[in-house]
Each structure stands twice: as C-alpha cells, then as structure tokens.
Amino acid sequence: MAYLFKYLKNYKNISFQKEKFNNIDALILTAIVYLPLPRVPKPGFRKKDRLLALLNEFIDHPTAYKKCVMPNTDLKFARTVKDSKRFNSLELYHYFEDIDEYRQTQFKALTFINQERSGIFVAYCGTDTTLVGWKEDFDLAYQKETRAQNSAVEYLEKIAKDFPNMKILVGGHSKGGNLAMHAASFCHTDIQNRIVNVYNFDGPGFLPFSIHASGYQKIKNRITTYIPPYSIVGILFEHQEKFKIVKANGGLLLQHSFYYWQVDGTDFVYTNQISKISIRVNIAIRDALMHLSENEIKLFCGNVYELFTASGMKTTHEVFRDLWRSFSYASSRFNQMSTAQQDNLTKIFKRLFFSFFRPLNAQEIQHKNDLLKKIKSGK
C-alpha cells in the first residue's frame, strides 16, 4: 500500500508538464497550507514568493513545527515537499492568516501559481490546533455564514481580481474543504464561471439554505468531495456534489488525516464501502438539527466552548497534554453555569447519544438508503 509520502518520492522529479496536475497534487497543496509558516504577512499584504523559500524558513525555525496538528509527521511532510522539484518551485501568492479569539474566527489561505502561469490554486486551511478554530467549526451547525466563510469569499474574489485571465482551482481539507465550497458557491458569477474544479477533502457540507442557494446549485457539478470509509467530518450536514470514497488505514478519526489515505500511481485508491458509524453520525446530527431551534444550537456551541476554555488553555495540544486538568476545570465550570446552560448541554448531549443508538424510524431508514446510494454511486 502506498500513501502520500510514496507519491511525493516517486514523482519528486517529474514536472507538471510531464505529468499533469491530479487529485493527489490538489491534496498536497491543501496540506501545505496547514503548515504554520513563520513569515506571516499582515492582513491585506500581497507578495509573491517561492514555496521552497517558505518551507526552508519553516524547517529551520526551532519551534514552528510544534504548532502543527501532527508535529513530527508534518515536519517530515515539509521536508519531503522541499526536496520535490515538482512542488518546491511553485510560486506562492498572498499568504493570509487571521486568528482572532475575540471575534472567534480562524482563517488561513494561500494561492499557488502554476509554472505555465495559466492557472491558480486557492487553498484553504482546515481547523488548526487553536480552540477558537474548533468553536468556529461548531458555528457551522447554525450560522448562515461564519466569519471564516465570509473571509473565504473575500479572499477568492481578491485573488481572482489580481489574476483576471487565469483559470481557478479551489480546495481544502476538513473545514478548509467547506470554505472552498462556500467561496466557490457565493463568489461573483464571473469568478465562478472561471472555476474549473473544487476539491473538498473530507470537509463538512452545508445547511439546507446554502444547499438550495443558486450559487451552490450552479457550481455543484464541479465539486468533488473525497471521504475515507470512516468519515465523520466529511459526511456532516447536507451534500449534493459528487462523492468519492478513498481507502484509508486506521479507524474512526485517524482516517480524517490525509496521511492515512491510500494512493496508487497518480490517483487515490477508491472503494464503495462506507462505515455504519459514519452513517449513524450523519443521522444523529441531522436529527438534532431538525428538532432544535437555532438559538438552542447557538447556546450549545457557546456553552461547549466555555467548557473547553475553562482551564485557560488555547490549543488542543495543551488540552491533550493535560487531559485531567482540562476535564477538572470543565467540570468545575459546568457546576458554576446557570441552570439554563446546564439544561441546554444536558438536553442536546442526551439527544445526540440516543439518536446515535436508538433504532431508526422509517424516515431515517429512507434517508440512510438514499445517502448510501448517493455516496456509493459517487453522484
């Protein structure tokens, strides 16, 4: 079995002129944007640079890799990409990052310019290690447009204006995939018409009002969502775009990491099998959203974030480094919450738990069958 690193090794000296851009290349570009590159320009700053230069700065920085989601593996990935002639000469443009605890947003994007200067790839970062990033993920369950989604549209429109004659590819992993779909769906029509493909790598879908929006309906045939068999994130909410299931190692959340996805030559290894757990998660979340008001969901997201941040920790690394301390502070904060807050948390956690384990009703069985048919057919 081969994985991302094998592909990087096998094709490191093969240019895009000899082997055209493919799905794995798209995943690699969306993986690069996760790296906490040390030199982050100020908002609104635009500058062209070479990928090799920024990778060298990241690799040589003594502590930058510690901010990665998977520090050691991500550092190995950066070194492997740096040694690849296929990627390291790519030109970069407008590396933009905005993380703000007060506004509760986490957004990062980077644009790649192909060597023929005929097209660009706009890559959106998924959730990083910041807890505020996770809070914004929860907000996807009720907000018509999160701050990151709004930033994604603005970023794409700025980039498209700066490169008016180039074709556009858009992509992202996890939340980044959702941002890519959102930006492609809600950008100006003349920009949308220039978009060739949208790559959503295991990113959540949309709530009904976005799914039925004319912008999404116009672009959906150019969107492909790639999910592993044990997808949890990528199967959330509503999807009408094409689906492809990528074989992956590991179980449950491990498969969300693209490092476990199997490749064969210049494409992924596909299957038509999706786990029962993935389907039940989709149904449980769908049931909760159908029976709870927007205000209840909003309060729940805020209350959960309050528990997570009770210890004063800012990142998931800090939380997992001292789980007991984090749990202790969360438990203490729960006891200090108002009765309304406690009732909100208890009600929704119970609903999710019982929705996951109870027998499905006739409507849910039909939804399950329709979802399985859609995912397995890839349409």
pLDDT digits (tens, 9 = 90+) for 99-135: 877 788 899 999 999 877 679 999 999 988 787 887 8
Residue 5: both structure tokens together: 């690193």
What is the per-residue pLDDT for 281?
87
What is the per-residue pLDDT for 44?
44
Cβ(282)–Cβ(334) below 8 Å: no
CATH 3.40.50, applies to 4-274: yes
CA atoms lying within 13 Å on the CB side of residue 152: 28
- Please say if the pLDDT value at position 48 is more than 70: no
Mean predicted confidence (pLDDT) in 351-362: 88
pTM passes above 0.75: yes
Mean predicted confidence (pLDDT) in 275-303: 90
- Please say if the pLDDT value at position 217 is more than 60: yes
Cβ(92)–Cβ(110) below 8 Å: yes
Three-state secondary-structure class, residue 69: coil
Residue 59: both structure tokens together: 């690799």
Q: What is the mean pLDDT of the chain?
A: 89
DSSP state of 260: G
Mean predicted confidence (pLDDT) in 279-307: 90
Domain boundaries, the chain: 4-274, 280-377
- Tell me the per-residue pLDDT of 144-186, one tens digit each, with 9 for 90 and over: 999 999 999 999 999 999 999 899 999 999 999 999 999 999 9
More confident residue, 274 or 252: 274
Round to whole Å and give the CA distance between 240 and 379: 8
- Please say if the pLDDT value at position 42 is more than 50: no
Three-state secondary-structure class, residue 246: strand
Round to whole Å and give the CA distance between 154 and 275: 36
Residues 6+ apart with CB under 8 A from 258: 4, 27, 31, 173, 201, 202
Round to whole Å and give the CA distance between 127 and 33: 11
- Please say if the pLDDT value at position 45 is more than 80: no
- Please say if the pLDDT value at position 241 is more than 90: yes
Please give the C-alpha separations between residue 359 and each of 32, 228, 287, 353, in angstroms, as whole numbers: 42, 25, 13, 12
Mean predicted confidence (pLDDT) in 359-365: 85
Q: For residue 28, which of 78, 75, 64, 68 has the smallest C-alpha distance?
A: 78
Residues 254, 256, 258, 262, Cα dihedral to 10°: 70
Round to whole Å and give the CA distance between 52 and 287: 47
- Please say if the pLDDT value at position 378 is more than 70: no
Cβ(204)–Cβ(181) below 8 Å: no
Among 23-27, 229-233, 309-313, which is the least confidently predicted range?
A: 309-313
Residue 202: both structure tokens together: 């295991």
Angle between helix axes 339-357 and 276-291 (nearest 10 degrees) is 140
